[in-house]
Amino acid sequence: MKNETPYIGIGWSFPPAFNKFTSQVEMTTEDDDIEGSLEIILTTKLGERLLRPLFGCDLSTKVFETMNATQVNLIKNMIEECILLYEPRIDTEDIKINTNNAFEGIFYIHIDYTVRTTNSRRNIVFPFYLNEGTDL
């Protein structure tokens, strides 16, 4: 797997998986790495990571809320803020929340984003953060 934009980095697959033939961790790059990162951000509760207690998008606080326009906008804002803080490799274009199945306790989140064509100063991908990471 060739990495076309090296500043995006290479990361562990999510959820972590191991190749049974090579005994190596499965790795992801490019869009797969970003999608895995977004899944981690959206499913992590605040305080869940001991060394980074503010990391995550605490969507679990919305589990028992009524899905009205106010809650949908609050969720969109939560997601947008978390992506802005924790995923510097992309620009969010639009966030859509489908509440058609709200009575079954399900809502779907669709995030349209663009992968940045240049590196971000907040990116902590090694070794790029050594020379370019000035906001660390």
Q: What is the pLDDT of residue 43?
A: 92
6-119 adopts what CATH topology?
Answer: Nuclear Transport Factor 2; Chain: A, (3.10.450)
pLDDT, one tens digit per residue, over 30-72 is: 777 888 889 999 999 999 999 999 999 989 888 888 889 999 9
Q: Where are the domains of the chain?
A: 6-119
* Identity of the amino acid at 114: T
Amino acid sitting at position 86: Y
Alpha helices of the chain — where are they, by DSSP H?
30-43, 69-86, 128-132
| Residue 79 · residue 56 · CB < 8 Å | no
Global confidence as pTM: 0.73
Nearest residue to 118 via CA among 90, 84, 82: 90
Q: Is the pLDDT of residue 98 over 70?
A: yes
From CA 118, how far away is CA 69, in angstroms rounded? 36
The reported pLDDT for the residue numbered 41 is 93
Peptide bond into 6 cis (omega under 30): no
Q: Is the pLDDT of residue 134 over 60?
A: no
Instruction: List Cβ<8 Å contacts ≥24 apart for 13-21.
Output: 14/39, 14/40
Measure the CA–CA gap between 75 and 83, rounded to whole angstroms: 12
What is the structure's pLDDT at 124? 55
Instruction: Please report the pLDDT score of residue 1 as a whole number.
Output: 44
Mean model confidence pLDDT for the chain:
81
Q: Which of 34, 25, 26 is nearest to 7 (CA)?
A: 34
User: By the 8 A CB rule, do 136 and 129 touch?
Assistant: yes
- Check residue 29 and give its pLDDT: 73
CB 8 within 8 A of CB 115: yes
